[in-house]
Structure 1
């Protein structure tokens, strides 16, 4: 089992990953690491406002939300916080389905708000409010 992670910012995710290293390619909004359970599987997480986020703390990387490897044979579920692996409980199929539905709803809300913000009258209103503040 991998009990701690260090952050390695890279331009490209390397083909061979080291255990205990969280690789982040910010230009491509992706992170990768070997599964914390020790099975050796490469875990990739897309980064962005509707996906995972990586923060570099003074003690090591923090990844939110949790990493649930439901598609892997190990089905591991953990959080990386302050460079440490914190194990989360296994989820049932119903919990996995509910979690995926919640992710889809968050994405839909996020992108609908962005589409609204791109409308010319919304941008004009924001610009005018900025001038008169």
Structure 2
């Protein structure tokens, strides 16, 4: 169940170190957004805006993100959509569904960046620091997505 049913947005240049619950931070300068997980677990959720990741729509009053937010690597495994500032809970996914989406995502990225979609990117080791700073987590996450 989602603890936060709505996200107010805040346009910022830099994503703050501490994310207030219920706030979607949007950095146009860095083409990314971040928020505290809507389930209430407190984990940071980063959604970068790229041709192969999330798309952000601002209608002058509210923000929507597409596709949905699937927190498959978090313990909560929450899954939701952000539509005009409203948080809409989506159904859980099986491990097979998650892996199929990851494969689709890798193929989409490979095609977009002009690589052979049949080549799997190398598996990267998890960061050694238990709580790396925000920008390191963003960099590590992006390197896994590219």
Contact residue 4 and residue 20 of structure 1 kept, 8 A: yes
Q: Deviations over 1:14-73 (max 9, x none)?
A: 111111111111211221001010111111112111111111125521011110001111
Structure with the greater alpha carbon radius of gyration:
1
Give 1:111's aligned residue: 113
Gapped runs of 5+ residues in structure 2? Answer: 116-146
Choose which of 37, 47, 50 in structure 2 pairs with 1:45: 47
How many angstroms apart in 2 are the aligned matches of 1:59 and 1:19? Answer: 19
Q: Secondary structure at the match of 1:100?
A: helix
Partner residue of 2:132?
Answer: none
Q: Say which SS state the counterpart of residue 104 (structure 1) adopts.
A: helix
Runs (5+) with no aligned partner, structure 1: 114-133
How far does residue 93 in structure 1 lie from its aligned partner after superposition? Answer: 0.5
Q: Is 1:56 equivalent to 2:53 in the alignment? A: no
Alpha carbons 1:58, 1:82 under 8 Å: kept: no
What is the DSSP-based 3-state SS (H/G/I as helix, E as strand, rest coil) of the residue aligned with 1:98? helix
* TM-score normalized with structure 2 length: 0.73
Q: Which moved more, 1:78-87 or 1:16-25?
A: 16-25
TM normalised by structure 1 equals 0.80
Of 3, 13, 16, the match for 1:14: 16
The correspondence of residues 62-77 of structure 1 with structure 2, limited to 5 A, is 62-77=64-79
